[in-house]
Amino acid sequence: MVYLAHFGLAEPPFSITPDTEYLYSAAAHREAMNTLLLALQSGEGFIKITAEVGMGKTLLCRRFLTTLGEEFICAYIPNPQMDAKALLQLVAEELGVGIGPGEAAHVIRRINQRLLELAGEGRSVVLCIDEAQTMPMLTLESLRLLSNLETEKRKLIHIVLFGQPELDEMLAQPRVRQLRQRIAFHYRMSNLDREEMDLYLAHRLKVAGRQGDSPFTPAARQALHRSSGGAPRLVNILAHKALLAAFGQGAQRVTVGHVRLAVADTDGAGSVPWWRPNW
């Protein structure tokens, strides 16, 4: 990328592609991770994590999966926008279940057999479904069939739903109340506050190879927080564009003016006042 050498970077610091190396452990991420791990220890079948767009749900999901030990078998579905039969078949494939009749009842029977085999080996299954708010209602309801798979002493599968707030609206509907009542652990992630965003920027710059102080002035960081609302993805987009704007002007420091240029080029970004005496 053109500005890397200019700012003493080895790689782009503000890519929006999820990369666990760049994960900054903000309070919301730590609390969400603690919720996930506590739910597994408690043996609960359903767990739900929700957050607005760009809050790092996918990154959290990937980090969660990497923290699980060998006693867990993990299945990950990044795009569940499919009918119930297709979802069950995909879960079966993720668990290495053999090919057989495609009817839902037969698929669930084979999944159950596989889960019992794994339980006999002392292993548990964790199914993570990202972007869960995109599931059709019938598909969401079908997850209850999987949650029914259990022995007298333990759940055979843990299902973690990662989604936007629309997922809460879906689960609030009466037709899925049985599923909603089975979600014993849930957490709603919040945006980065001002101090956390400064630490977030510093972390990503350091991982990308930056040595020394931040290229963003304090006023620029304030403007970044104000215009992004503390949403990490929007922070990344605006920070990247602000670095480009500063590089284009040959500047070594990113100022409020550069952030304004980034905001003007970004849909969904908030405005930056032209004058704030405390900046």
The fold for domain 193-264 equals: Helicase, Ruva Protein; domain 3 (1.10.8)
81's CB contacts (< 8 A; 6+ apart) are 131, 134, 135, 136
Return the higher-pLDDT residue of 39 and 144: 39
Return the higher-pLDDT residue of 145 and 234.
234
> Residues with Cβ < 8 Å from 148, sequence gap 6 or more?
none
- DSSP β-bridge partners for residue 73: 125
pLDDT value for 192: 92
Average of per-residue pLDDT across 19-48? 87
Distance CA 123, CA 69 (A): 10
pLDDT digits (tens, 9 = 90+) for 97-149: 866 666 777 888 888 889 888 888 888 899 999 999 999 998 988 888 787 76
Q: Where do the domains of the chain lie?
A: 27-188, 193-264
Global confidence as pTM: 0.80
Between the alpha carbon of residue 54 and those of residues 3, 36, 181, 203, the distances in Å are 24, 20, 28, 18
pLDDT of residue 53: 83
Check if the beta carbon of residue 87 is closer than 8 Å to that of residue 77. yes
Percent of the chain with pLDDT over 90: 51
Q: Are strands 46-50 and 157-163 parallel, antiparallel or unpaired?
A: parallel
Which of the pair, 278 or 276, is modelled with greater confidence?
276
State residue 152's pLDDT score.
53
- Report the chain's mean pLDDT, rounded to a whole number: 88
Q: Which residue has the higher pLDDT, 196 or 55?
A: 196
Strand, helix or coil for residue 201? helix
Contact 255, 220 (CB under 8 A): yes
Q: pLDDT, tens digit, for every residue of 136-173?
A: 998 988 888 787 766 556 778 899 999 999 999 999 99
Please tell me which residue, 7 or 122, carries the higher pLDDT value: 7
Has residue 275 got a pLDDT over 50? no
The CATH number of 27-188 is 3.40.50.300
Task: Identify which has the larger pLDDT, 222 or 182.
Answer: 222
